[in-house]
A and B are shown apart, each in its own frame.
Chain A
Amino acid sequence: MRTYARYFLRRLGQFVFVVFVGINIVFFVTHATPVDPVEQAISSATQFGHSDPRAVEIMRKALRELYGLDGTIAQQYVRFWTRLATGDFGPSLSAFPTPVSVLIRQSLPWTVGLLFTSTLIAWGVGNSLGGLAGYYRKNRLLKAVGIAATGLQPIPSYIMSLVVLILFGYIWPILPISGGFQMNVSPDLSIPFVSSVIMHSILPVLSLVLITIGAWFVGMRSLVSNIVTEDYVVYAELAGVNRRRILTSYIMRNALTPQLTGLALSLGAIFNGAIITEFVFGYPGLGTLLVRGVNSGDYSLVLGIASISIVAVATAVFAIDLLYPLLDPRVKVE
């Protein structure tokens, strides 16, 4: 137990280090971009309507003061960390003066719900099928499933989402294609709200699952096909152990550990898959929020979202690392 406690402390130190460095990197990259939120604000304010050239200078000065963009980068850095201690990321620059944390809090549950559901479904189904395919090599149905799963993988998420949209929103219009829930329903915990949330999430989850299931399938299959050749498996087969028992208890259990690591790490890919899908289905998650933030040079918002994702992923990796030695007895903790 003492060794495990020491391991825990060391990993905790690593966790803190990783989060710190990660957030620093994002801070400097966001502040190094040439996109100036003040100029963005001015262009959007003067783009369509009447504008007076004399007025623009006055506006520029006023906005600069308002956004707190005065001060050197060192001062902004210190201000950022002091605010972060209270969980406050400051006001969003593109949606001034709403605090970034409020914007994130609104969108986070949608993204988390979407990704959690689709990742778990893809992971569960993909791994089971992959394990079966790796073990029952000769089964033709599983081979066909394998080809289908690998075939789906390279399809870009935009196309997949659009195809799902056309199939189920237009050709066979049985599911809603827009928004997180039905229009004119108030978001409390009532049956109409909850059921419309579920209905509106079916298509986005479906397209995400279809894209990601292939990777789990393939990974699991190659892991299993490796393990199958191990001595203890051959021994169990010779000893006449029930095949299904071999598959679940002997093989899958060992194959699961790297796949679990993969699961934790794939949470880190939280934005790539989600952004396009959320955009196509008008799903109110973090992905679209992030794109708007980057486009309008709103580095408070980008910093906020990036920091949250860094903490979330680091925590997931940390948790996995703690579970690892408990799951695989061959791994010694030092």
Chain B
Amino acid sequence: MRTLKMLGFVLSSLLLGEHAIAQADFLAGIPRNEVLIAENPEGRITNSTWFNIWVVNHGSNSNGLQQLGLDTLWYIDADAGIDGVWDNSLASEKPTYNTDFTEMTVKLRDGIFWSDGVEFTADDVVYTVETQMKNPSMVWGPAFQASVDTVTAPDKQTVLFKLKRPNSRFHAIFTVRWNAAWIMPKHIFEKQPDPTKFNFNPPVTLGPYTLKSFDPNGEWYIWQRRDDWKRTTLARFGEPGPKYVAYIDPGPPDKRVIMQLNHELDIIHDTTPEGMFTLAKQSPSSHGWFKGFPYAHPDPTLPSVILNNEVEMFKNRDVRWALALLIDMKAVSLASYRGAATISAIGVPPTGLYPKYYFDPLEDWLKNFEIDTGKSKYKPYDPTVAQQIADSLRPSMGDRIPKDPKEIATAFGRGWWKPNPQVATELLERAGFKKEGNRWMKPDGTPFSITLLVEGDQRPVMTRAGTMIAQQWRQFGIDAKAQAYPSDFFPRVASGDFEAAMAWSVETWGGHPDLSFFLDSWHSEFLKPAGERQPPRNWQRYSNPELDKIIEQIRAIGFDDPKGVELGQEYIKLAVKEMPMIPLMSYNVFTVMDTTYWTGFPSAETDPYTDPVPNWANTKYMMVKLKPAQPK
């Protein structure tokens, strides 16, 4: 007994003494106010010493390597950009195509140096393309192989691409939207016998930071600002504020909230809506993209109900529309995002500058759009759905909910389809489905059942939305259920081994209205028959000659041609009529920034200069805007 008491005393005095140490010395040797700590959503990196980002399944993309260490020709911002949406990074101007889009010329900047003092030249670009073409197991190798015939460097600052076939958007491969084809340092890689076996540790960087230290177990990576940061492309905007940037594996969503409350994590990549609300309540120094509800940043991605159009029961448009008319978007928004969703009824995400290009111009057309069921005519669009969601939240959230209709439109979206079981019934009956008692039967007599694939706890919000949608279908009499596949979700979707899935097949630039980023892959020339794997992004395996025509017309015009917006609007109208997949909302990421140590983060109202989500390579632009919040 006595020994126990002694032990207790010793232990408690030890622990109390350790308090101060645990708090202040979070990073050994680096003052806290000189380092920006961000979350790496990849978690713990298995292949921690691997920095050769060009080999498939290498170590990590977003441990700081693509955000701070590498660079390429152009960047497109998902929001407004520091100085406009388009940034010429390593290139000094926009790409120049010949008239039939079979050649592309690029002019490069000069005065840019690698971190080991070697100058960046066109030879690096040529080396990047040629090496990967020779090694198709490198990430961009297959893409280069498919498009590039030859690449040459007529002089130190010019690169000339000759393409195998006309491609008006070939430059997209070098344009960063999350990532792009990074430029390899020729002088390092050419010394290696096999570039696919070289781990590039430590990496020689082209961006404004170099690698300072990292955890051999892959839990943290610390980057340090280069002394010669003036010789990088980011210097045009100023000096990067944080001297050090650390990317860490923060663990489960609960722990991320705790860490930010302890001021040990400056940027949370994503957490649950509840975690966000807790931070909003308890931490006045934390803020999201929006000052108030819904806080989250709407990424230019469109989560939808992907219906497999090669499955017999979904081949008929009436069935697809009926399923859409059974979904109550208000309930889905509440269930998935607790109301913090930005909804969209059409096939583009309601983010960045798209409201201006697509949502406002089409609002009237949507209001007048009519469905003819044969028995009745119905106008399904309800422009007030987002407002209804906002109004329903006001009693519990008070003035965190905006009142101005324009603000509501930006934060919550505009309208969606009004649920109507009667019209759905008529559509299904026209398609040959019959209701027997409480259950619906397919035309062939078997029960109408749908399994809706969800990803499980890797993407909790989508899982919740899927569960709610399955419930709504179930209440109508369809035998629907949600099933979680945490590990092989994407491969299953790609192989077409599903009926319906909560995923996204629409991803856009965000700042630029061009839709080819996803739309080009929806052309029927890429469609694979059932049983074979479908390349991204036509997960719904839909084909339509009208759609093909639109796509081909887009291919024929330049990237910045204003006709592109018109064609985009035609695609949207076609997608509404045909409903190949059911768009729901933008992918809202609850990125939370703590202003205790750093200020200058992007925000929707005051300075929407980039997407704050820390794994986007575009976040390098944040570094020049961040300033220390605490005086030295």
Partners in one complex: yes
List A residues at the B interface (Cβ < 8 Å).
34-36, 39-63, 65-66, 92-98, 103, 106-107, 110, 162, 165-166, 169-170, 173-180, 182-187, 192, 196, 199, 279-282, 284, 288-289, 292, 294-297
Q: How far is the CA of A282 from the CA of B220 in the complex (A)?
A: 11
**Contact at B28–A184, with CB atoms within 8 Å?**
yes
- Binary contact readout B213-224 vs A (1 if CB under 8 angstroms, 0 otherwise): 101111110100
Q: Is B371 an interface residue (CB 8 A)?
A: no
Cα A46 to Cα B537 in complex, Å, equals 10
Supposing A48-B179, A106-B216 touch, asked if A176 and B29 sit within 8 A by C-beta, the answer is: no
CB pair A292–B258 under 8 Å, yes or no, is no
* Contact B255–A174 (Cβ < 8 Å): no
Report yes or no: B217 in contact with A284, Cβ–Cβ below 8 A: yes
Judging by beta carbons under 8 Å apart, are A56 and B536 in contact?
yes
Task: For the complex, give the distance between the alpha carbons of A47 and B494 in Å.
Answer: 11
- Please measure, in the bound complex, the distance between the C-alpha atom of A51 and the C-alpha atom of B180, giving whole angstroms: 10
Q: A183-B246, A280-B252 are in contact. Are A173 and B19 (CB under 8 A)?
A: yes
Are A39 and B495 touching (Cβ within 8 A)?
yes
The smallest C-beta distance from A283 to any residue of chain B, in angstroms, reads: 9
Question: CA of A155 to CA of B155 in the docked complex: distance in angstroms?
Answer: 69
Do residues A174 and B526 form an inter-chain contact, with CB atoms below 8 A? no
- Among A61, A65, A178, A292, chain B packs the most CB atoms within 10 A around the CB of A178
Residue of B251, B261, B494 with most chain A CB atoms under a 10 A cut-off: B251
Q: In the complex, are the beta carbons of B141 and A58 less than 8 A apart?
A: yes
Give a binary string over B144-173; 1 marks a CB under 8 Å from any A CB, 0 the rest.
Answer: 011100000000000000000000000011
- Ordered by A's residue number, 14 sampled pairs between the chains whose C-beta atoms are within 8 Å are A43-B494, A51-B521, A52-B142, A52-B143, A53-B526, A58-B136, A58-B141, A62-B136, A165-B254, A170-B261, A177-B259, A183-B246, A280-B251, A284-B219
B binding-site residues for A, Cβ under 8 Å: 15-16, 18-19, 22-23, 25-30, 43-44, 46-50, 55-59, 135-137, 139, 141-143, 145-147, 172-173, 175, 177-180, 196-197, 212-213, 215-220, 222, 246, 248-252, 254-255, 258-259, 261-262, 264, 486-488, 490-491, 494-495, 517, 521, 526, 533, 535-538
Residues of A within 8 A of B488 (CB): 34-35, 39-40, 297
Closest to B172 in A: A50
Tell me if A282 and B56 are in contact (CB < 8 A): no
Contact between chains at B533 and A39 (CB < 8 Å): yes
Known: A52-B521, A179-B217. 7 other contacts (CB 8 A): A41-B56, A55-B143, A57-B535, A94-B57, A106-B217, A174-B22, A280-B251
Known contacts: A48-B179, A184-B222, A279-B251. The answer to whether A170 contacts B536 by CB under 8 A is no
Q: How far is the CB of B526 from chain A (nearest CB, A)?
A: 4
Interface SS, A side: helix
Inter-subunit contact A35/B28 (CB<8 Å): no
Residues of chain B within 8 A of A110, CB atoms compared: 217
Q: Once the chains are docked, how many angstroms separate the CA of A45 from the CA of B261?
A: 34
Complexed CA–CA distance, A169 and B26 (Å): 13
Contact of B136 among A59, A107, A289, A292 (CB under 8 A): A59
Chain A contacts of B177 at CB under 8 A?
Answer: 49-50
Cβ contact of B536, chosen from A53, A175, A179, A180, cutoff 8 A: A53
Q: Report which of A53, A66, A95 forms a contact with B521, defined as CB distance below 8 A.
A: A53
Across the interface, name the chain A residue whose C-beta is closest to B165.
Answer: A54
Inside 8 A of A174's CB, which chain B residues have their CB? 15-16, 18-19, 22
B354 to chain A, nearest CB (A): 18
Q: A45-B56, A93-B57 are in contact. Are A169 and B50 (CB under 8 A)?
A: no
Q: What A residues does B196 contact at CB under 8 A? A: 66, 97
**B255 and A98: CB pair below 8 A?**
no
User: Contacts A66-B137, A98-B50, A174-B22; is A183 near B222 (CB within 8 Å)?
Assistant: yes
A279 CB to nearest chain B CB (Å): 7
CB neighbours (8 Å) of B262 from chain A are 169-170, 173
B495 smallest CB distance to A (angstroms): 7
Q: A184, B173: Cβ atoms under 8 Å?
A: no
| CA gap between A93 and B490 in the complex, in Å | 18
Contacts of B535 in A (CB 8 A): 46, 51, 53-57
Q: Is the CB of B249 within 8 A of A282?
A: yes
A54-B146, A280-B251, A280-B252 known; A41 and B219 CB under 8 Å? no
Q: How far is the CA of A95 from the CA of B180 in the complex (A)?
A: 21
Known: A45-B139, A183-B28. A177 touches B57 (CB 8 A): no
- B146 lies within 8 A of A183 (CB): no
Point out the residues of chain B lying under 8 angstroms from A289, CB to CB.
Answer: 46
- From A192, which residue of chain B is reached at the shortest CB distance? B28
Q: Which of A52, A97, A169 contacts B197 (CB under 8 A)? A: A97
Which of these, B18, B264, B486, contacts A175 with CB under 8 Å?
A: B18
Cross-chain contact A180 with B145 (CB below 8 angstroms)? no
In the assembled complex, the CB of A48 is this many whole angstroms from the nearest CB of chain B, namely 5
Find chain B residues with CB under 8 A from A98 CB. Answer: 47, 49-50
Contacts of A50 in B (CB 8 A): 143, 172-173, 175, 177, 180, 517
**B249 and A162 within 8 A (CB):** no
Determine the distance from Cα of A60 to Cα of B173 in the docked complex, in whole angstroms: 19
**Closest 8 pairs (CB-CB, A-B):** A95-B47, A284-B217, A55-B142, A58-B142, A53-B535, A62-B136, A56-B535, A54-B146
Point out the residues of chain B lying under 8 angstroms from A45, CB to CB. 56-57, 139
Report B529 CB to chain A, min CB distance, Å: 14
- Determine the chain B residues whose CB is within 8 A of the CB of A48 once the complex forms: 178-179
Q: Are B50 and A95 in contact (CB under 8 A)?
A: yes
Q: What chain A residues lie within 8 Å of B521 (beta carbons)? A: 51-53
B19 proximity list for chain A (CB < 8 A): 173-174
Question: A279 CA to B43 CA in the complex, in Å?
Answer: 10
